[in-house]
Amino acid sequence: MRHHDRFHRVGRLHKGYHRRQVDTFLNQVEVALGGVFVPPTATDVRQAGFELVHGGYDVAEVDDYLDVLEDRVILAQSATAGRRGRPDLASEAAYLRDELSAPYMRRFPRARFYRRGYAVDDVDDFVDAVVATLQGTSDAGGVGVEEVRSAPFRGRRGGYREDAVDDAMDRVVEHLLQVRREARGAAVPPDVLGQAEPTT
């Protein structure tokens, strides 16, 4: 890594993220987090895109940093909102559950037949796991942030529209980050993930 580079560069024969685009975006976010400008949202960070060019920044390294930065943005939003502006995590979980609980094969708009979308079975099976997490009924502790971020959906003609699925997964990621952030600061009420209060 050169002393003035934020991340390692890939070799000249390989492609990585455009260095100037990455540096410009990160500079803007960090200045905003310092209180100079209105900070970006977690979605802004998650959806940031950069050109792939020869000799650019290592893609995995930048993506890992963006995941950490997204968490910082969530923290900044929570701190700015204060107690009155805190999100209602239980209501958000219920909203997401309702939105994702449509009948199988009808949960998202379809791509036109001659266009590729996400394979319906892949998405529906994964959404089942997400809904179980939001309900608090998952056997293995539920789906985590990283799993949602990297969910592998195969391409299929006439599948679910990618933008619709991606938007829903973005909202799930943001909710799970908020839950994780709240859990670090205080115990999360059982109903946040749809769990019933324990009976005595």
Cβ distance 176 to 145 under 8 Å?
yes
Distance CA 137, CA 126 (A): 14
What backbone torsions phi and psi does residue 157 show, to the nearest 5 degrees? -65, 135
Q: How confident is the model at residue 1 (pLDDT cuts 50, 70, 90)?
A: low
Per-residue pLDDT at 154 exceeds 90:
yes
What is the amino acid identity at position 40? P
pLDDT digit string, tens, across residues 55-87: 999 999 999 999 889 888 877 766 655 544 556
Q: Give the domain ranges of the chain.
A: 15-81, 89-193
Q: Which two tokens stand for residue 104?
A: 């199988």
Average pLDDT, integer, range 122-130: 96
Mean pLDDT of 14-18: 94
Spatial distance between the Cα atoms of 175 and 70, rounded to a whole number of angstroms: 12
Mean pLDDT, range 49-60, rounded to an integer: 94
